[in-house]
Amino acid sequence: MRNELNREKLIFASSFFKLFLIISVFVLIGFFLIFEFCSTHKLLIVGQDNNIVYYEIDVEVNDKLKYGWIHSFEHIPWTEEYYIQENNHLILDTITIAGFGAGIPHNKGTQTKIEDGIIYYEDINQDFEYIEWIHSQTALEYIKLNDEILLEGIDLEHHEFYKLKIEKRVDICQRLK
């Protein structure tokens, strides 16, 4: 009698396990028909010392990132344009400056032009793994992504140490139809 009871338990356990396995396989197949693993790029602004994320947004390779500054001593506008690369680096392409003065480069890029009193250094092609700065709410006017403002100077804490970087992440994305 005991052997029959053990045999019945084994059959039930085995059947339950088989049913569980079959349901699990169908759930997984359904999941992978609807979703897939994909890589995304994230623009992050983090604290240099604490690595706390203060800002995060999805970005694409070749998106244009633009910093707008007011020079701290000369009080003239200064912009820097970067392009996001597949390797998560930023390529500085263009600097525009409304004049010369302390700390302002005079020989960047392969092309220089002056239009309406603004100096353009183009085709700079300087590679940056990330950008670090001590934030000034009065010096930073904006950070733009593809000509849309992400942040203005007042959006970040004054005199904090920030780092802007691009990270590649693996996410679960819905398959396109």
Which pLDDT score is estimated for 5?
54
pLDDT tens by residue, 34-78: 777 888 899 999 999 999 999 999 999 999 999 999 977 778 899
Range of the domain at 108: 41-170
81 and 26, same structural domain? no
State whether 51 and 8 are in the same domain: no
What is the percentage of the chain residues whose pLDDT exceeds 70?
89
Q: What pLDDT is attached to residue 72?
A: 72
Do 21 and 68 lie in a common domain? no
Task: Answer yes or no: is pLDDT of 13 > 80.
Answer: no
Q: Check residue 88 and give its pLDDT.
A: 97
Neighbours of 42 (CB within 10 A): 16
25 and 77 assigned to the same domain:
no
pLDDT beyond 90 at 125: yes
In a domain, 175, yes or no: no
Could you report the per-residue pLDDT of 144-155, keeping only the tens digit for each? 999 999 999 999
Look over the chain and give the mean of its residue pLDDT values, rounded to a whole number.
87
Residues 116 and 65 in one domain: yes
Distance CA(65)–CA(129), nearest Å, equals 14
Q: Which residue has the higher pLDDT, 19 or 48?
A: 48
Q: Are residues 46 and 129 in the same domain?
A: yes
Domain count, the chain: 2
Joined together, the tokens standing for residue 124 give 């700079």
Give the pLDDT of residue 9. 58
Same domain, 64 and 123: yes
Is the pLDDT at 139 greater than 60? The verdict is yes
- Yes or no: say if 41 and 60 are a contact pair by the CB < 8 Å rule: yes
Q: So what's the pLDDT on residue 33?
A: 72
Sign of CA dihedral 65, 143, 133, 46: negative
Q: What is the mean pLDDT of residues 104-129?
A: 89
